[in-house]
Amino acid sequence: MKNKKPLKKKIRSAPEAAGKSTALGRERKLVEALRKSEERFQQIAANAEEWIWEVDAAGLYTYASPVLEKILGYKPEEVIGKKYFYDLFVPEIRNELKKAALEGFACKEPFKGFVNANVHKDGRRVVLETSGTPILNDQGDLLGYRGADFDVTARIRAEEVLRASERSYREQFSKNAAVMLLIDPTDGKIIDANEAAIKFYGYSRARLLEMRISDINALPLSAVQHAMSEVPEEKGRQFQFQHRLADGALRDVEVSSSRIQFGDRSLLHSIIFDITARKQMKAELIQSRLLYAETASMGKVGGWEFDIDTGRQKWTDEMYRILEVPFDFGPTVEKGLEFYSAVTRPVIENAVQRAIAFGEACDLEVPVITGKGNHRIVHIIGKADLAARRIYGFYHDVTERKQAEDTLKSLNENLEQRVNERTQQITDQSMKIQEMYAELTHMGRVAVLGQLSAALAHEINQPLGTILNSASAAHMILTSKDPDIRKVQEILEHIIAEDERAGSIIRGIRDLVRKEAGEHVRVDMQALIQETVKLISNRFTTKGVNLVLDIQADERMFFGNKIQLQQVLLNLLANAFEALNEVSLKKIVIKMRVLQPGQLTVSVFNNGPKISAAIMAQMFKPFKTTKKHGFGVGLFICRSIIQAHGGKLSVDNNADEGVTVSFDLPLLEDGGSK
């Protein structure tokens, strides 16, 4: 029994020993795996491009891969346990970067792409891009961070250079005087437009950036897309399109497009030139050339040129037509001289020689004999260009013109004779018309005097009666025993005054009766009105006419014919007087006003009946009258006289009663004051 117990113990210990052996084996394998994994990690960390690191919760380095020395110049042992990650930041932004990093640590979240500037051991600036993952214990407390840093210094510098290049490009693009667009060739969207493009197209920049190039290009969308696809990668391409502006106008443009790399995008850089004017000029030039050819043919004008040294000539098509030779004639100076007669040829040769020797121009009109034997006359103008060793000019067939000139000369001589004869006839007729007009005017004045004869007779009889009575009184005083000589002197002075009064009336009548109307002089309209009224006032008074003068014009002087204007006043007053035959309370008002600057208006108002529209329409026509014994020329002559003085005469029915006849006359430029 004593022997069995150890056996059982041994039996029980075997599995236990086996278990311990298995666990130890697994532990060894795990350790070996960890060792190999550590070796692989170290190999990877040593050969990787990035620097792998670990820091504790305070940021102190606890691990740094050997790549640290390659990136920042420090060996791992120089930073592990000795430096915090923020100690390597550049001083000027160290606190800012440290704050940002520790705030990230506090979040205990992974991070990527943290770009930070560090100082290399040799003092250089190195930019790193950092990514990290938090290290947490089982309770979630932050133990530290592990991660990797990439050296992005070269990339950052390249990006800065690119950004600077893009800024420079944008500045040049924006301020360039040429119209420029940046276009995405994949969809035609306008990416950018410079100031010149905004001004040219008339859209705002914001509106342009909403548009596609097909919104501007007049071509169909498919054609625009095809054109964009044809721009090669390495060199540009030129196109001609029509672009539509904001106002709807179409402009012809030449577009120079090339591909440029803008960031990670391939864009079309297009420079647009407005060639509308150029195309119009080109079209006009083509049209002008066609027009020249057509008009040269119509006008029979040919152009020529010959080489001084070789004698070879160049002709325009019309030259061949004028000289009636085939287009393969092959002109030379010698062959050209054959078209001239023996008399004319020396003249041509001399002109050519002087042009070559002295550069003189020639202007000749000579006969030629065409290739078909027809005789023509040509006008030749030539000019020498000795620097280019050539003489050139034009050749004008003036045969028909010369024939027309001869015919025209004959016609002109005949026409001149007929014109002279007709001119004499017109002159004679004009003189007769002037004489008839003067006679008609004179008749008008005589007619007016006839109408006013009673009043004029009274005006003359009155001073004559006074003279007779005064003379009788003087005779009685002188025959008395004791004559009063002073009283006789007073009577004689009164007789002289009355004689002068009668004489002035007779002179006025004589002036009116004279056929000659007198000259233009300075006339005082107020005095003329008063003088005229004086001639007829007695008749108006005896017939019960209330004649009123309403003169309210300081400016009254004008330049005119006094006799003719007095005739107008007398005629208007006579007409007004006759219009009052059927009116019991008769009234005539003469007004004088300056209604407009530089213009004097005289009006004759009567309160008689109004004039019908039918009569008003005929009033100024000659030989149209409503009077039994009238000629119908009074108002016609009056209007002619006023128009000749630069004025106008009008007749108007008054609003309430009667008629007003008015005329305007221009005042003298010195203000018309007396």
Higher pLDDT, 616 or 110: 110
- Minimal CA–CA distance to 130: which of 110, 152, 115? 115
The stretch 129-133 carries a mean pLDDT of 94
- DSSP classification of residue 625: -
The 265-274 sheet, strands edge to edge: 190-193, 179-183, 265-274, 250-262, 237-244
Number of other residues whose CB lies within 10 A of the CB of residue 135: 17
* CA distances for 249 relative to 80, 196, 245, 278, angstroms: 74, 17, 5, 17
As given in the structure block, the two tokens for residue 485 are 């000589």
As given in the structure block, the two tokens for residue 267 are 């864009």
Would you state the torsion angle of the CA atoms of residues 550, 554, 557, 561, taken in this order, to the nearest 10 degrees? 0
Q: Which residues contact 331 (CB under 8 A, 6 or more apart)?
A: 304, 306, 312, 313, 314, 315, 319
- DSSP classification of residue 479: H
- Minimal CA–CA distance to 339: which of 381, 302, 371? 371
- Percentage of the chain exceeding pLDDT 90: 34
Q: Are strands 250-262 and 520-524 parallel, antiparallel or unpaired?
A: unpaired
| Bridge partners (DSSP) listed for residue 381 | 363, 394
Query: Can you give the pLDDT at residue 132?
Result: 94
As a whole number of angstroms, the distance between CA 313 and CA 336 comes to 9
* CA distances for 346 relative to 351, 353, 380, angstroms: 9, 10, 15
Instruction: Tell me the per-residue pLDDT of 521-560, one tens digit each, with 9 for 90 and over.
Output: 898 989 989 888 887 777 788 888 999 999 887 778 888 8
Beta strand spans in 101-166 (E): 111-119, 125-136, 142-151
Q: Are 664 and 647 in contact (CB under 8 A)?
A: yes
The stretch 184-203 carries a mean pLDDT of 93
Instruction: Tell me the per-residue pLDDT of 336-345, one tens digit each, with 9 for 90 and over.
Output: 888 998 888 8
The stretch 318-339 carries a mean pLDDT of 89
DSSP, collapsed to helix, strand or coil, labels residue 311 as coil
DSSP, collapsed to helix, strand or coil, labels residue 561 as strand
- Residue 508 predicted with pLDDT over 80: no
Helix (H) or strand (E) holding 300: none
Q: Are strands 265-274 and 301-307 parallel, antiparallel or unpaired?
A: unpaired
In the chain, the largest separation of any two C-alpha atoms, in whole Å, equals 232
**pTM for the full model?**
0.34
Sign (positive or negative) of CA dihedral 111, 117, 119, 125:
positive
Q: Are 540 and 579 in contact (CB under 8 A)?
A: no
Low-confidence winner among 245-259, 347-361, 443-457, 467-481 (lowest mean pLDDT): 443-457
Q: Are strands 545-552 and 586-596 parallel, antiparallel or unpaired?
A: parallel
Residue 79's pLDDT band (cuts 50, 70, 90): very high
As a whole number of angstroms, the distance between CA 262 and CA 192 comes to 12
